[in-house]
Structure formats: C-alpha cells, structure tokens
Amino acid sequence: MTSSTLRPASDYPPGGDAFRHRHLIGIAQLTPWEISYVLDAAEQWVDLNRSGAAKHDDRLAGLTIINAFFENSTRTLLSFEIAGKRLGADVVNMHAAQSSVKKGETLIDTAMTLNAMRADAMVIRHGSSGAVQLIADKVDCPVLNAGDGRHEHPTQALLDALTIRRRLGRVEGLTIAICGDVLHSRVARSNILALTLLGNEVRVVAPPTLTPPAIERMHVTTFTDMDEGIKDADVVMMLRLQNERMDGAYLPSAREYHALYGLTEKRLEKAKPDAIVMHPGPMNRGVEIDSNVADDPVRSTITEQVEMGVAVRMACLDILTRRKRGVVGWN
C-alpha cells in the first residue's frame, strides 16, 4: 500500500545530504524531504518488526545509547529502548528519579557526565522547553529529543505522519484537526510544524484557555467549537488532557470538557466517513475520547501509532549514527 509514496534511496542526493543534521531536536529544523526520508527509512523497520521471531538487525552493534529521561515516561522510553535493541545497540536507561539531578546537580553537569561515558547517541526527555537543545550543544554525540517541555516531540510527529501516510496513502492535501490541550502540548507543536510543512490543512480545536497565543502564525486555523473544527476532517488527532488542567484553572471540570470537547461516536460523524482517529497516549477514556471511538478497529490508529513509533525511532537512530559508523557518504 505504500509503494506509491515510498521512493527508492537512489532518488535522494547521495550521502549525508539526505539528512543534514547532527541531532534531532525538533521538526522546526527539518525540510519536507528530510521528513520524507525518515518516513521512507522507517518502512523497512515496520517490515522487520512484523517479520516474526528474529526481529534483529545488528547495524548498531557495539554502540551505546543512553536514554536520559528527566521526566517520567513509560511508553516513549520503552519505544526508544526497543528501537535501540532491535538495531543491536547497548541501551542504558537513566531515570531522573534515580539520578543525581535530585541531589542538585545542574543539567549541564549531568550532561557532561553522560558525555564522559562516551555514549554514541543520547535520547533525552526533559520537562523544560529548550533543555534538550542546551544538552545537545554540550555533548559530542547525536542527541534525539524525546520531548522537551511544551516545545517539541519530533519522533511523535514523525510516527504520526507515517501512520497517516500508511493509513490514507498520503500525508499531503489532507484536513487534519488537532484537538485538546494544545497550549501545553509538545506533540501538537511538532505535529503542526510537520503536517503544515508536508502540505496539509491543519486546524487547532481547543478551548480558548488552552489555545496558545498567536498560534495562527504557525499557519493553522483555530476553532473553539469541536463540531465545527472536525467537520470534514480526514484526520482527528486528539491530545491528552492532564488531570491538573481540569481543576478549575484552565477548565471547569472533566465532565464539562467531555461534553464540549470529548470525541464521541456521534461527534465523529461530522468528520469524513473514512476519517481516522489518532491519540498519542496515554488516553483518558471518557474524558477526551470515548472508549468505543478509541477501540474502533477501522478508524482508531492508536495501537498502530505505537507500532510506527518503534520503526520511526529505529530509523532516526540509524540515520543519526551513520557518521559515527563510517557509513559511506556520511561524513
């Protein structure tokens, strides 16, 4: 199904020109063809991951990848760990809860310590916008941003683009509604950048208290009415609403949010008949999304997104370590 969009590697300029970045900090630094290059590269890993017992490729054998997560995470950490291991790398996880960060060590000092351990790549998540860039500037190895504050979560946007492309056959010229807590969401920012860059019409559907200021400057249209916002959309992308936003500061209550912005079966009828429903997880069932929508095997892509996540992260780890591994043309 992907043959129409998957281009052979020979279509790209030779060597590192296909992806001219040392790190993957954000979608903001990427060009449309670089995004396509990563998506194309991920396809082979989807196939490998589905291939049965021996899901292994040893191209990263001997390399050490440190997953440094300064903010709690289960699924992203696991996804990166599996991605690294499937490529044969030695993967080490560092959780903030177990680290010296709690003892007052500064972020830069922690980064320098990790750097001295000679990692070949670092995957970093941090609760503060810009923190991953700060670390990337100080270390000698490629850094992958696994989410920094409200800023960016590039691999999420890449896996979402891959999911859309595989499900709908293309990821251009579509109408995509991103719904929910856009203000606090790095997933939304990375997706807005990636999806507009690839040539889609992106809508932001959120209560005014959770709509970022001047968001229309990122080439999106804003809606506060959910029914209007998802009308005739090809993709309805829901965002997680964190519990602490529902205590009255941003929203009156969870049930009011569900009534106005929750994705129900009935509400989904406004979108195109073949529209897909996405969610980066973890879901609040019954708040932003109803169970029968989330579990709809035809329309919901939620588990497929998780699957694409591993493939996209394998592609990113492969591409960013090519220089280190001396792959011909990548210097």
Footprint of other proteins (CB under 8 A): 28, 106-108, 126, 128-131, 133-134, 148-152, 186, 189, 212-215, 217-218
Q: In the complex with other proteins, which residue's Cβ is closer, 26 or 84?
A: 26
* Residue whose token pair is 């291939």: 51
Q: In the complex with other proteins, which residue's Cβ is closer, 23 or 258?
A: 23
Q: In the complex with other proteins, which residue's Cβ is closer, 144 or 277?
A: 144
Name the nearest CA neighbour of 37 among 56, 21, 48: 21
CB of 267 to other proteins, least distance (A): 27
CA diameter of the chain: 57
Q: In the complex with other proteins, which residue's Cβ is closer, 63 or 183?
A: 183
CB of 68 to other proteins, least distance (A): 14
Q: In the complex with other proteins, which residue's Cβ is closer, 148 or 307?
A: 148
Residues 38 and 159 sit within 8 Å (Cβ to Cβ): no
| Dihedral sign of CA atoms 182, 201, 177, 164 in order | negative
Q: How far apart are CA 143 and CA 66, in angstroms?
A: 10
Name the nearest CA neighbour of 188 among 172, 169, 211, 214: 211
CB of 62 to other proteins, least distance (A): 33
CB of 131 to other proteins, least distance (A): 4
The strand order across the sheet containing 235-238 reads 221-223, 201-205, 175-179, 235-238, 276-278
CB of 217 to other proteins, least distance (A): 4
